[in-house]
Amino acid sequence: MIKFIMGVIVGILIFFLFIYFGGSKMMKKVGEELTDTGKKMEAMEQMIKKEKGEVEKDVKRRILKEDKGATKKMEAPR
């Protein structure tokens, strides 16, 4: 019970110190930076998805090309 009360007191103390030392300005700045970071991450995600699709198509085309070549080689000795 004493640990709980001490935790509540420390939490309130930290909250008031945050407010006293300009927490709202800091939170606004952090929020703006996170928004910018989010926009950069969205752009990177789109680029990665595009590249992934191109690589998948290329790999499938190569696999199908190799399979066709292998079946032709197997049929030739008849």
At 4-34, the pLDDT tens digits run 999 999 999 988 888 888 877 877 888 888 8
Full-model pTM: 0.46
Q: Give the C-alpha separation, 70 to 45, whole Å.
A: 37
Q: Give the C-alpha separation, 49 to 41, whole Å.
A: 12
Annotated domain spans of the chain: 2-75
Q: Give the C-alpha separation, 11 to 18, whole Å.
A: 11
Q: Give the C-alpha separation, 68 to 72, whole Å.
A: 6
